[in-house]
Structure 1
Amino acid sequence: MKLPLLGLFLLLSAGSCLAQMTTGLTGVRDTSFSNAGAYRQAKKKNPEIKLVEEFKLPSVQEKRNLVYCQVGDRKLALDAFYPKKKTKTKTPAILLIHGGGWRSGNREQHIPLAQRLADLGYACFTVEYRLSTEALYPAAILDLKSAVRWLRTNARQFNLDTAKITALGFSAGGELAAFLGTTNEKPEFEGANCRSAVSSQVQAVVDIDGTLSFVHPESGEGNDTKGTSAATYWFGYPKKENFALWEEASPLTHVGKTTPPFLFINSAVDRMHAGRGDFRKVLDQHRIYSEVHTFPNTPHTFPLFHPWFEPMVAHINAFLKKIYQIKR
């Protein structure tokens, strides 16, 4: 695996000679994080919740298992959910990125959200990416950049407005979505996997309980005292052994004048928005719009459940209508 040039420079300048840990590269899919499992856990303290199931919406058309990139023998796929009604106005696109600690989870977990947003007029794409069981950082980043480029390449097929592409992610997916947004126009994070000549820029980010920094004092990532943490598996180094790499992978490190507007939707778990205050200060300095909506008394996995699902959808829709000036 090749690090981005910046990461390689920082690693060498730090004088690190420690070998990257590859024990997490099992090649076996980690199924530990699932909607059903999250529901069983959350229901213990929130007995009133209901798991959001897939919808059957007559207004929504879908195409599943579309290959957006091939890396070696590995085919990476996404699913499309978009308005069935044809319009002359091009459709804003949303790339939905699942969570699971960069190691578990799958793109099917947010199909209900994709369907619901498609019903509101967005073209939504639930995307898979290589997890830490098969490839370490920055593979997931490079995959998702390729997925954005695929959207632009296939814009005509889905009637997409390529000037209105949103990265939306939950948990680890929220961190990845934020990273996509903060590394707009930074070629060292593009890679050369698929369609490298096409822009991977996104025009908005919706970060749902995704950390903004692995190294911020508020961050809980990298605690290996009770076993190898999810982030340590992803980077292949404990934080203390390669701090520069952990810092490089933090969206907070890259936020600046090319960062798009941000919507933060958060649970009551404070550590899941580590660095948000400092991040928004930078956005404010550059007069970049952002919003924060926090659901009180909620578990980290709240986006998967009623009664929080519909209010979350409403916040996303209102934010995108505002920044894209959508009148419908």
Structure 2
Amino acid sequence: MVDVAPAPAAIQDVRCALIYLLKNANEFNIDTNKIVIMGGSSGGHLALMGGLLATEKHFDNNCEYEGEIKVAAIINKYGVSDLVPLKNWSSAKKWLGNYYLDVSFVKSVSPIYWVNKNSPPVFIIHGDEDPIVPYAQSIELYQKLVSFGVKTEFVTIPKGKHGKFSANENAMLSNKMWNFLNSLEL
């Protein structure tokens, strides 16, 4: 799909989906105070962008919403948080297209630059031997969230690869994730 819709199209799509849910919350019986965005790998990146942008309308040019845009939490499973050091990485370069050399644009599509004291709680999962998305990406994101006082939890899977976790590890992650969400009293 990167050939059809390079950056920031996927971010715009996630934001439009979120806006659609907010606009139609009554029809779908959605409690807008309990929306959680979750994704793994590129989906983790998009979950972070969808939630961290909050009321910033930077990528909402395909959708309009006058109300407050917020999510209750974000679940990031081994997603990229900073494309700046990865902009020459083949996948990132393809997605960024002609913008891969434009550092301000690359920062604008990197979740870590949207973290602030009002960011929603973030649950992070990453294997420390991930061969695709550097483990350091999640460490840096976690540290930035903590520096702003954002509620966060970071679960490392020792010797974990890129989402190829064992059944026991997945059960443990699911438990920890639900404990985190329950601690938010959603």
TM-score normalised over the length of structure 2? 0.86
Secondary structure in 2 aligned to 1:197? coil
Separation of aligned partners in 2, 1:238 and 1:186:
21
Separation of aligned partners in 2, 1:213 and 1:235:
13
1:320 maps to what in 2? 181
Unaligned 5+ residue runs, structure 2? Answer: none
Secondary structure in 2 aligned to 1:163? helix
Residue among 152, 156, 160 paired with 1:290:
152
Residue among 18, 35, 43 paired with 1:148:
18
Residue 302 to residue 198, structure 1, CA distance change in 2 (3 Å): farther
Q: Indicate the structure with greater strand content.
A: 1
Q: Which has the higher contact order (CA 8 A, sep 6+)?
A: 2
Shift of 1:247: 2.0
1:168 aligns with 2:38: yes
Residue among 268, 272, 278 paired with 2:134:
272
Separation of aligned partners in 2, 1:206 and 1:288:
14
Separation of aligned partners in 1, 2:163 and 2:83:
20
Aligned length in residues: 184
Secondary structure in 2 aligned to 1:143? helix
Structure possessing the higher radius of gyration over alpha carbons: 1
Separation of aligned partners in 2, 1:213 and 1:150:
27
Query: What is the aligned-residue identity percentage?
Result: 26
Conserved? CA contact 1:168–1:177, under 8 Å: yes
1:300 maps to what in 2? 162
Q: Indicate the structure with greater helix content.
A: 2
1:204 maps to what in 2? 73
Shift of 1:158: 4.0
2:6 maps to what in 1? 136
TM-score normalised over the length of structure 1? 0.51
1:245 aligns with 2:115: no
Which structure 2 residues correspond to residues 80-229 of structure 1 after superposition, within 5 A? Answer: 131-193=1-63, 195-216=64-85, 220=86, 222-223=88-89, 229=90
Separation of aligned partners in 2, 1:136 and 1:198:
28
Separation of aligned partners in 2, 1:273 and 1:212:
10
Could you say what the CA RMSD is over the residues aligned between the two structures, in angstroms?
Answer: 2.3
Corresponding letter in the other structure for 2:81: L
Corresponding letter in the other structure for 1:152: L
Separation of aligned partners in 1, 2:68 and 2:16:
9
Unaligned 5+ residue runs, structure 1? Answer: 1-130, 224-228
Shift of 1:178: 1.1
